[in-house]
Amino acid sequence: MTVRRLVTPLTDDLIAVLRAGDLVTLSGAVYTARDAAHARMADLLERGLPLPFDLNGAVLYYVGPTPPPPGRTIGSAGPTTSCRMDSHTPRLHSLGLKATIGKGPRGPEVLKALQEHTAVYLGATGGAGALLSTHILKADVIAFADLGTEAIRLLEVRDMPLLVINDCRGGELYARPRTAESAGPAR
């Protein structure tokens, strides 16, 4: 199986070749934001103020990392449930956001925005936060420090393993029909 290597900032040409189900590795700058940070970004946009980072070609990881253990850059950094950010995501895609990383399915408005703005939704393995953190080389709080774990961070990642869940053509990994073999044993 081919693994596609992605490096930020992401471009429309790069996003256009990705398909739901593709394995990718991601390197470069990635921003973190969860519920509270999204609410603050929405407030900034409503007031006509700039966001704390440039969205053009950007990737947002829905994560609230734990404090780093001694000698480490960051603690466990597993994904949070993405649908909680769905009300904010279409607007961010319209402003240049190219990818989000999280877990779980997205709502119809997000799926529509992925197609309209040539973007993708990438899945990170839930429960593997300690492993995912080994791909994070640097983590700096850049906005909303008072939010603690939900502050916006700029991460430098290298070869973070991800899966394309939703592509820019309407493909959805979660929508694939289950076969008897993939469903597992009867309960």
Distances (CA, A) of 72 to 4, 135, 142, 165: 27, 11, 19, 30
187 in a structural domain: no
8 contacts: CB under 8 Å, gap ≥ 6: 26, 27, 28, 29, 30, 57, 58, 59
Backbone angles phi, psi at 182, to 5 degrees: -80, -15
Residues designated as active site: 38
Model confidence over 125-170: pLDDT tens digits? 877 888 899 999 999 999 999 999 999 999 999 999 999 999 999 9
55 in a structural domain: yes
Model confidence over 75-130: pLDDT tens digits? 999 899 999 999 999 999 999 999 999 999 999 999 999 999 999 999 998 778 88
104 contacts: CB under 8 Å, gap ≥ 6: 81, 82, 83
| CA 68 and chain centroid, separation | 21
Q: What is the mean pLDDT of residues 24-28?
A: 98
Question: In the chain, how long is the greatest CA-to-CA distance?
Answer: 54
The tokens of 121 are what?
């939704």
Identify any residues that bridge with 100 across adjacent strands, giving them in sequence order: 60, 121
Q: How many domains does the chain have?
A: 1
Q: pTM of the predicted model, to two decimals? A: 0.91
178 in a structural domain: no
39 in a structural domain: yes
The answer to whether the beta carbons of residues 122 and 14 sit under 8 Å apart is: no
| pLDDT band for position 36 (cuts 50, 70, 90) | very high
Backbone angles phi, psi at 146, to 5 degrees: -65, -15
- Residue 48 burial (CB count, 10 A): 6
Domain span at residue 54 reads 3-171
184 in a structural domain: no
Question: In angstroms, rounded to a whole number, what is the distance separating the alpha carbons of residues 139 and 152?
Answer: 10
| pLDDT band for position 176 (cuts 50, 70, 90) | low
119 in a structural domain: yes
183 in a structural domain: no
The tokens of 141 are what?
């709080």
CATH of the domain at 157: 3.20.130.10
180 in a structural domain: no
